């Protein structure tokens, strides 16, 4: 396990992220146009749903010391196939949404096999499935945009279940809160979570202690795929239209939220609560820059700065933990 000082440092970064979240909101409320309004609050929530579900899933992966670059295209590929099932194959909306989750989970299984059993580097394995997912979705749909039912149509009820009610209540926030609670329990109160931390802290020590590392690592990637499938459902509920050959780059928003929230890229340290804080920082940054009239390329630029800053802070935290470890050894 990591030193206690490392864990305290992670807690400090989580508090720091919470402070940044509050400062950003106040800043954009002052300098943005109508940012402090119900409309922008709903926009922030809308942008947080799909990022949040992807981020929750990849938190487990990063804690094991891995990475999943296929998040965005997995989500879009699954949503495209669900859209094809509804629009082309004549499936019902319920069956189509189940297919979304199944497709994304299957891609997660592939990632788990490639990384855990075939020993491919996570960066390379998930980069490969990223390209496969992006291409496969376009092949199946023949590069046609897939549209999900809108409010007022016979199957538009799914938006009232996953997005917001007819009265405007953002029910998607309730789903995200539920996912946060379940994922937190899974990470902190179950064998699955303990093994996730153990693999990320010291893979070989975990193996020697009797943990079947390959099996649990594969399950972690499968879980990540499952959450990407949920993200696909909420993306479809919010935005309706799914465009082929897109999704590449959306994984950066999720990974950035995870790192900003205090999860270490080296593995062994992380939390779901920190991830959710990081996700809302990314969403507020995006909507806040829009409220100031800045275009999408500025949003991308500042997102990159935030990501670099979070990783630098993570590296500093690791360096400080190593110093403490060396100091403790020399004092013995």
* Domain membership flag for residue 192: yes
User: Domain of 268?
Assistant: 4-326
Q: What is the pLDDT of residue 312?
A: 84
* Domain membership flag for residue 78: yes
The CATH number of residue 128's host domain is: 1.10.3470
* Domain membership flag for residue 331: no
Q: When comparing pLDDT for 235 and 246, which is higher?
A: 235
Residue 329 has pLDDT above 70, yes or no: no
* Domain membership flag for residue 62: yes
Which stretch of 11-15, 53-57, 75-79, 267-271 has the lowest confidence by average pLDDT? Answer: 11-15
Q: What is the pLDDT of residue 233?
A: 97
* Domain membership flag for residue 182: yes
Cα-based angle 307, 308, 311 (whole degrees, multiple of 5): 85
pLDDT band at 5 (very low <50, low <70, confident <90, very high): low
* Domain membership flag for residue 332: no
pTM summary value: 0.91
The domain total for the chain is 1
CA dist 63 and 211 (Å) reads: 16
Residue 81 has pLDDT above 50, yes or no: yes
Residue 224 has pLDDT above 90, yes or no: yes
The phi, psi pair for 146, rounded to 5°, reads -100, 130
Q: Tell me how far apart the terminal alpha carbons of the chain are, to the nearest angstrom.
A: 19
Q: What is the pLDDT of residue 262?
A: 86
Which stretch of 54-63, 184-193, 280-289 has the lowest confidence by average pLDDT? Answer: 280-289
Q: What are the CA-CA distances from residue 22 to residues 17, 30, 41, 293 (Å)?
A: 9, 12, 14, 21
* Domain membership flag for residue 110: yes
The phi, psi pair for 89, rounded to 5°, reads -90, -10
């Amino acid at each position: 396990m990591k030193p206690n000082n490392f864990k305290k440092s992670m807690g400090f970064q989580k508090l720091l992220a919470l402070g940044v979240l509050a400062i950003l909101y106040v800043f954009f409320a002052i300098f943005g146009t109508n940012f402090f309004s119900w409309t922008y609050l709903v926009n922030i929530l809308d942008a947080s749903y799909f990022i949040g579900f992807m981020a929750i899933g990849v938190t487990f992966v990063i804690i094991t010391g891995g990475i999943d670059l296929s998040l965005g295209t997995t989500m879009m590929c699954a949503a495209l196939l669900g859209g094809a099932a509804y629009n082309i194959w004549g499936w019902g909306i319920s069956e189509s949404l189940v297919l979304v989750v199944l497709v994304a989970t299957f891609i997660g299984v592939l990632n788990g096999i490639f990384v855990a059993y075939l020993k491919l580097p996570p960066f390379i394995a998930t980069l490969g499935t990223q390209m496969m997912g992006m291409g496969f979705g376009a092949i199946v749909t023949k590069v046609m945009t897939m549209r999900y039912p809108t409010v007022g149509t016979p199957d538009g009820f799914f938006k009232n279940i996953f997005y917001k009610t007819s009265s405007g209540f953002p029910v998607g926030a309730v789903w995200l809160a539920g996912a946060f609670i379940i994922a937190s329990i899974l990470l902190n109160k179950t064998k699955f979570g303990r093994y996730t931390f153990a693999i990320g802290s010291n893979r070989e020590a975990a193996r020697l202690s009797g943990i079947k590392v390959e099996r649990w690592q594969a399950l972690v990637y499968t879980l990540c795929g499952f959450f990407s499938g949920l993200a696909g459902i909420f993306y479809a509920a919010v935005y309706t239209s799914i465009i082929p050959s897109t999704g590449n780059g959306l994984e950066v928003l999720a990974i950035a939220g995870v790192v900003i929230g205090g999860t270490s890229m080296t593995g062994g340290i992380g939390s779901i609560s920190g991830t959710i804080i990081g996700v809302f920082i990314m969403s507020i940054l995006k909507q806040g820059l829009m409220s100031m009239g800045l275009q999408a390329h500025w949003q991308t630029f500042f997102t990159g700065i935030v990501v670099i800053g979070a990783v630098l802070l993570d590296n500093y935290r690791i360096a400080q933990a190593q110093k403490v470890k060396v100091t403790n050894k020399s004092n013995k």
